Amino acid sequence: MRPFAPQDRVLVSPRYLAGAGIDRLADAIGPLIHLFGWSSEHDRASGRISVHSPDGSLFVNFNSRHTRGHWWSVAHHEPYWEARFTRQTPIEAIAAVTQALPQLLGDDRHIGRIPLTTTPLAQIAELNHWHREDDTFTSPDGHCHLQHTPTEDTPWRFRHHVYDGFDTHWDASFTQDTPRAARRPVLHPPRDDHPGRAHLP
């Protein structure tokens, strides 16, 4: 494998090991603004950024000063559902979720570039050799856990932590009515649609 330069962009697989990255905003909200025409607001004093769908039903918020460490949230109204991501959640996973949002609203203009998988989340875990015990799936290396508790308000929760690993903890959670298409990308392997990016297995 050739050495990578500091400016090289790579796709990391499995996705849960990717880390937050250095270009959080461009990857996660850039396509919504530039490809789909979503409106954005930026409060320079607080650093908070909000992007919302043309019909006003979906909001993506970035707030690096959130007191509980959830820097990212995706919220839908009527029906209400919310997905939240802590600071170190892999940006590839967050971007995959946000890029799926327009199609959830029926905007399929870029479906060729941003295809949605229909594979159930539990099946994706099994296909990627995650171990299942009751309602918890564990990644092959034991660092990432997917817990499904159907009776809770937040039935799907991802947690990642490397023992003695500095700043490796992240958490992603999805409330009861979150569409399946918005949950699946966290586990799904990165798509190879970036010819300028290398892969780190």
Per-residue pLDDT tens digits for 27-38: 889 999 999 999
Residue 120 above 70 pLDDT? yes
pLDDT classification of 23: cutoffs 50, 70, 90? low
pLDDT classification of 175: cutoffs 50, 70, 90? very high
For 137-161, write each residue's pLDDT tens digit.
998 888 888 899 999 999 999 998 8
**pLDDT score of 96:** 86
For 185-197, write each residue's pLDDT tens digit.
777 554 433 333 3
**pLDDT score of 112:** 85
- How buried is 141 (Cβ within 10 angstroms: 0-12 exposed, 13-18 middle, 19+ buried)? exposed
Straight-line distance from the first to the last Cα atom of the chain, in angstroms, rounded to the nearest whole number: 11
Q: In the Cβ-directed half-sphere of 167, how many Cα atoms lie within 13 Å?
A: 8
For residue 194, report the phi and psi dihedrals to the nearest 5 degrees: -120, 90
Q: How far is CA 47 from the centre of its chain?
A: 20
For 72-111, write each residue's pLDDT tens digit.
999 999 889 999 999 888 888 898 899 999 999 999 988 8
Give me the helices (H) in the chain, please: 24-34, 91-104, 121-127, 180-183
**pLDDT score of 117:** 77
**Nearest residue to 101 (alpha-carbon basis) of 40, 159, 147, 51:** 51
- Per-residue pLDDT, averaged over 27-53, amounts to 92
Tell me the whole-structure pTM to 2 decimals. 0.79
**pLDDT score of 127:** 85
